[in-house]
Amino acid sequence: MHRIILAILGAFALFVQAPAPALAQETELLGGEDAVLPDARGEVVEVASARRGMPSGPRIISRELDRASEAFQAWRLQPWGDDVISLLGAGEHGHREPYVLEAGRQYVFQVACDSNCDDVDIEVLDAQGRPAQRDTSQTIWPAVSIEPQQSSRYTVRVWLTRCAVDYCYVGLRAYRSAP
């Protein structure tokens, strides 16, 4: 095993958008390569990180998204774009991700949350910022479906209603039908 020093979290910023202290507190010890992350006081602590270079939280979220993938592909929807995995705190405004959706295609946006999360919500906002679809049911794996009448820019917003710790990992995956 070799050691990876993520003091500034430069390369890691591609996977999550969170301050370093939250990352050190949230990373689970599931094996993989050793990583060095700062704790809440900025001091370096050693934790085990995931294979593929990301901590276990994002790896778990990717697995949760993969579990739902079979059902969406059975509906002839294909994954579209990259997964977005973030650390979010309950009560925050959440994460917004822009998409350009084509008229006449079906899109599904699915969210997964880590084991510390009790409720995550999702909505699709149209170009004017009005909700086009929303799932605010009390679930940790919500999904919304939309088939726009016009091609336009939309924004998917994901937010936490309840999280047992300061921050929870949340992942967003997009699917779309064939043209």
Is residue 91's pLDDT more than 70? Answer: yes
Residues of the chain with CATH 2.60.120.380: 57-177
pTM of the prediction? 0.68
**Position with higher pLDDT, 68 vs 172:** 172
User: Alpha-carbon distance 95 to 62, whole Å?
Assistant: 17
Q: What is the CATH number of domain 57-177?
A: 2.60.120.380
| 50: number of Cβ within 10 Å | 21
- 36 CA to centre of own chain: 23
Per-residue confidence (pLDDT) for residue 176, from 0 to 100: 95
| 154: number of Cβ within 10 Å | 19
Per-residue confidence (pLDDT) for residue 79, from 0 to 100: 92
What number is the average pLDDT over the span 73-87?
Answer: 90
- DSSP H helical ranges for 97-145: none
pLDDT, mean over the chain = 73
Sheet holding 143-146, edge to edge: 77-88, 168-177, 107-113, 143-146
Is residue 6's pLDDT more than 60? Answer: no
**Position with higher pLDDT, 67 vs 19:** 67
What number is the average pLDDT over the span 92-104?
Answer: 95
First-residue to last-residue Cα distance in the chain: 46
